[in-house]
Amino acid sequence: MMKQAQQMQAKMQEAQEKLDELEVTGNSGGGLVEATSTGKGALKALKIHSSLIDPEDPDMLQDLIVAAVNDAQKKAEQVAADSMQSITGGLKLPSGLGF
């Protein structure tokens, strides 16, 4: 059983490293705002189409940025959950393990 636990731990470490390298992109405004984050949810890039830059309406741009970042983070969380699910085979792990 210890050997299985060690193998699972090694697979989890490998999955965590892959999540650091993985990039997911969220968008809003029909793709006019794109946010790219790692599989762990860290924001890496933000693209804003120039047509959205209106000094008279900063609130719209701010809302679209937040929506794009949230979309990217949601996708990253799903990728991470799917990755851990494939390793644990549905085994429920205690929260706080950093996954």
From CA 24, how far away is CA 53, in angstroms rounded? 24
Helix residue ranges, H only, the chain: 2-21, 58-88
Homologous superfamily of domain range 22-88: Nucleoid-associated protein YbaB-like domain (3.30.1310.10)
Which pLDDT tens digit goes with each residue over 45-60? 999 999 999 999 999 9
What is the pLDDT at residue 5? 76
Per-residue pLDDT of the chain (99 residues; tens, 9 = 90+): 788 778 878 888 888 888 888 899 999 999 999 999 988 888 999 999 999 999 999 999 999 999 999 999 999 888 888 887 877 676 665 555 444
Q: What is the pLDDT of residues 75-87, one digit of tens each?
A: 988 888 888 787 7
Q: Minimal CA–CA distance to 42: which of 73, 66, 12, 15?
A: 73
Domain ranges of the chain: 22-88
Residue 21, number of CB atoms within 10 A of its CB: 9
pLDDT of residue 32: 96
